[in-house]
């Protein structure tokens, strides 16, 4: 999988690389900090490509050009850390949740599908349908299964946001760059 590296403080595009495959999840790839799978746009004269949650062009300014001697400010390091924490939360949020040994999707499309299913159950409590779980396993989704897996789903969503909130508090409390860098970006 192709990845694109950016400067941790400025967000400026640094170059591309290849993500390693996860040893725990075949077919899943590990995207390191300060990298994205979104390709940057073609370069433009007098502009730099900068990652701000998406690639944008910014004017080249002497004080913003990459300098190997540049030391980011505490606020720049905090902002970069918060971006990476948010990215990690989003990856975890979309990573699925388990119920009775079955891994269910939890990405935005799945969350919408769960909402639609709940609405159908409101119209017809006997409604059921074939449902493909993350593992490729087919289940019959009905009111009983939907309600049985709901606590695991809610715990997953709440857990992701609680993790992010706690990391953001740690970043806010940090007084030095080293303290910011020590804040974990890995949900465990």
pLDDT digit string (tens) for the chain, length 188 residues: 888 888 887 888 888 888 887 777 778 888 888 889 999 988 877 788 889 889 988 887 655 555 666 678 899 889 888 988 988 898 899 989 999 999 999 988 999 999 999 999 999 999 999 999 987 889 999 999 999 999 999 999 999 999 999 999 999 999 999 999 999 988 87
Q: Which of the listed residues 45, 66, 87 is the one where a domain comes to its end?
A: 66
Total tally of structural domains belonging to the chain? 2
Q: Do 45 and 122 sit in the same domain of this protein? A: no
Same domain (yes/no): 32, 108: no
Same domain (yes/no): 62, 106:
no
79 with 155, same domain: the answer is yes
- Determine the structural domain holding residue 52 and report its residue range: 1-66
Tokens of 141: 């989704």
Domain co-membership, 99 together with 142: yes
* E strand spans, the chain: 2-6, 13-18, 20-21, 29-30, 35-36, 47-51, 55-59, 97-99, 102-104, 129-132, 138-141
Q: Which of 66, 100, 123 is the last residue of a domain?
A: 66
Is the same domain home to 17 and 96?
no
Cα–Cα distances in Å, from 63 out to 16, 34, 80, 155?
Answer: 24, 21, 18, 45
pTM, two decimal places:
0.64
Last residue of a domain, one of 36, 66, 96: 66
Give the count of alpha carbons within 13 A of 61, CB side only.
7
Residues 85 and 141 in one domain: yes
Tokens 């799945």 correspond to what residue?
Answer: 110
pLDDT at 72: 80
């Amino acid at each position: 999988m192709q990845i694109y590296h950016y400067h941790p403080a400025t967000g400026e595009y640094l170059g591309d690389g290849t993500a390693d495959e996860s040893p725990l999840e075949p077919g899943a790839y590990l995207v390191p900090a300060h990298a994205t799978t979104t390709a940057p746009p073609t370069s433009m004269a007098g502009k730099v490509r900068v990652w701000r949650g998406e690639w944008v062009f910014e004017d080249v300014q002497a004080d913003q050009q990459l300098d190997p001697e540049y030391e980011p400010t505490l606020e720049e390091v905090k902002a970069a850390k918060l971006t990476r924490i948010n990215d990690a939360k989003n990856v975890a949020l979309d990573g699925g949740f388990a119920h009775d040994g079955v891994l269910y999707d939890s990405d935005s499309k799945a969350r919408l599908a769960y909402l639609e299913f709940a609405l159908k159950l409101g119209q017809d409590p006997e409604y059921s349908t074939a449902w493909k779980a993350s593992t490729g396993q087919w289940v019959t989704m009905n009111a009983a299964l939907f309600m049985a897996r709901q606590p695991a789903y809610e715990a997953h969503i709440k857990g992701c946001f609680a993790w992010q909130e706690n990391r953001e508090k740690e970043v806010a409390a940090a007084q030095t760059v080293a303290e910011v860098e020590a804040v974990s970006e890995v949900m465990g």
